[in-house]
Amino acid sequence: MIETGLDIQGVNKIYQSKNGNVFALDQINLQVHSKEFVSLLGTSGCGKSTLLRIICGLEEATSGTIYHKGRQLQGPGPDRGMVFQAYTLFPWMTVSENIQFGLKQKHIAKKEAKEIAEHYIELVGLQGFEGQCPNSLSGGMKQRVAIARALANDPDILLLDEPFGALDMQTRGVMQELLLNVWQKSPKMIVMVTHDIEEAIFLADRVAIMSARPGRIKEILDIAIERPRDYRVKTSQQFVEYKERATEIIREESMKLLQTKILSA
| 175-196 per-position pLDDT tens digit | 999 999 999 988 899 999 999 9
pLDDT band at residue 85 using 50, 70 and 90 as cut-offs: confident
Residue 12 lies in a domain: no
Residue 208 lies in a domain: yes
252: domain CATH number is 3.40.50.300
pLDDT (0 to 100) of residue 17: 81
Alpha helices in 106-236 (DSSP H): 110-123, 139-152, 169-185, 197-203
| 34-47 per-position pLDDT tens digit | 999 999 999 988 99
Residue 67 lies in a domain: no
- Residue 87's domain comprises 36-58+74-264
pLDDT (0 to 100) of residue 125: 92
pLDDT (0 to 100) of residue 1: 58
Residue 166 lies in a domain: yes
Count of the separate structural domains present in the chain: 1
What beta strand segments (E) does the chain contain? Answer: 6-17, 20-32, 37-41, 63-68, 71-72, 80-83, 157-161, 189-194, 206-210, 217-222
| 134-145 per-position pLDDT tens digit | 999 999 999 999
